[in-house]
């Protein structure tokens, strides 16, 4: 038996530290502030830590904001003492509420030569024009007292932002190489905007058609069982401007190639939809819509064409 085994020790309960830990949990796990008012959480805390006074969601909101201010103060102190060369990345988009947003991230190397990144601002902007974006970036840099900006990576098509920023940095005396390498286009964003081929679009239509109806999906699963396909993944649709999701869609679809072939012999609307899409026609005699994939179902065998035939004739 160990020397300390069986020894009883006491630990002082700290309400402030417990609240701070609770705020960190809310932030790290991206939980809603109302999480602390859930009945299940309250019951758990009464058993695990009955001395803790569970704060309201408004109090937790204030705690999270105070924690943010503490971290911001520490980061400002580091920037002031280390004065690292900063690389900025911007991301702009418009929400479904028609509000323009911009996220500004700073990338830098710390004293231990470790690459770090921190979001230094996330705020609504009046527009995506170069003048407005420059004004927001400048105000942010002044707030954080950052002037050693080496490059700015953005997904904007206009160079107005970089021209204005180069002027600002020149006035501050920190414009390296006269701003020649200041602007770097985001390669990931460019790749996402590349137009894909018809074959990928056709696979997208296949997945879309099958997933739109429980009847079609049930028949497709039967085809998978008939072809002894053991893949447990489900067909998925991609986001047109996210190539990683397109890769996932294609990667999953390739496991069901034989099931697609078998399914084509049971549903005339399926092949008709693919033929219509391949010929860039909006509707055909079976009233198949290219946009939503709806069609008149017919449990008739199609012998003249298969999925492979149509796929091979697209490109």
Residue 307, token pair as written in the block: 């999925």
Residue 276, token pair as written in the block: 């219509």
Beta bridge partners of 149: 86
* Domains delineated in the chain: 15-71 (no CATH), 84-187 (3.30.420.40), 198-314 (no CATH)
Other beta carbons within 10 Å of 50: 8
- Rounded Cα distance, 43 and 49, in Å: 10
Judged against a pLDDT cut of 60, whether residue 49 lies above it is answered with yes
pLDDT tens string 104-113: 999 999 888 9
pLDDT tens string 167-217: 777 777 666 666 666 777 777 777 777 777 788 888 998 999 999 889 999
φ, ψ (nearest 5 deg) of residue 213: -135, 130
Sheet with 100-109: strands ordered across: 115-125, 100-109, 86-94, 149-154, 183-185
- Rounded Cα distance, 75 and 290, in Å: 53
* % of the chain exceeding 70 in pLDDT: 79
Judged against a pLDDT cut of 70, whether residue 231 lies above it is answered with yes
Residue 35, token pair as written in the block: 């999480």
pLDDT tens string 118-148: 999 998 988 877 778 888 888 888 899 888 8
Dihedral Cα 166, 169, 171, 176, nearest 10 deg? -90
Residue 121 CA, distance from chain mean position: 18
Global confidence as pTM: 0.61
Judged against a pLDDT cut of 70, whether residue 280 lies above it is answered with no
């Amino acid at each position: 038996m160990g020397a300390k085994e069986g020894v009883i020790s006491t630990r002082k309960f700290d309400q402030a530290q417990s609240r701070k830990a609770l705020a960190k949990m809310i932030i790290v796990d991206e939980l809603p502030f109302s999480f602390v008012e859930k009945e299940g959480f309250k019951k758990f805390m009464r058993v695990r830590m009955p001395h803790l006074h569970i704060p309201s969601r408004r109090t937790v909101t204030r705690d999270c904001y105070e924690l943010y201010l503490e971290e911001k103060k520490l980061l400002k102190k580091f920037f002031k003492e280390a004065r690292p060369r900063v690389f900025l990345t911007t991301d702009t988009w418009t929400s479904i509420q028609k509000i323009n947003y911009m996220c500004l991230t700073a990338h830098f190397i710390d004293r231990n030569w470790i690459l770090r990144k921190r979001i230094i601002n996330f705020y609504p902007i009046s527009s995506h024009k170069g003048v407005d974006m420059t004004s927001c970036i400048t105000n942010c840099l002044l707030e954080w007292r950052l002037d050693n900006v080496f490059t700015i990576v953005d997904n904007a098509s206009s160079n107005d932002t970089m021209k204005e920023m180069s002027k600002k940095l020149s006035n501050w005396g920190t414009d390296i190489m006269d701003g020649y390498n200041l602007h770097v286009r985001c390669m990931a964003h460019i790749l996402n905007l590349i137009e894909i081929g018809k074959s990928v679009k056709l696979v997208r239509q296949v997945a879309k058609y099958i997933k739109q109806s429980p009847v079609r999906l049930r028949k497709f699963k039967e085809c998978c069982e008939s072809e002894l396909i053991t893949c447990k993944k489900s067909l998925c649709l991609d986001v047109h401007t996210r190539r990683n999701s397109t890769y996932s869609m294609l990667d999953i679809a390739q496991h069901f190639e034989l099931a697609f072939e078998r399914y084509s012999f049971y549903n005339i609307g399926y092949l008709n939809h693919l033929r219509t899409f391949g010929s860039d026609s909006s509707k055909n005699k079976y009233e198949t819509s290219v946009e939503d994939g709806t069609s008149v179902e017919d449990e008739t065998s199609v012998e003249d064409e298969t999925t492979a035939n149509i796929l091979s004739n697209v490109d």
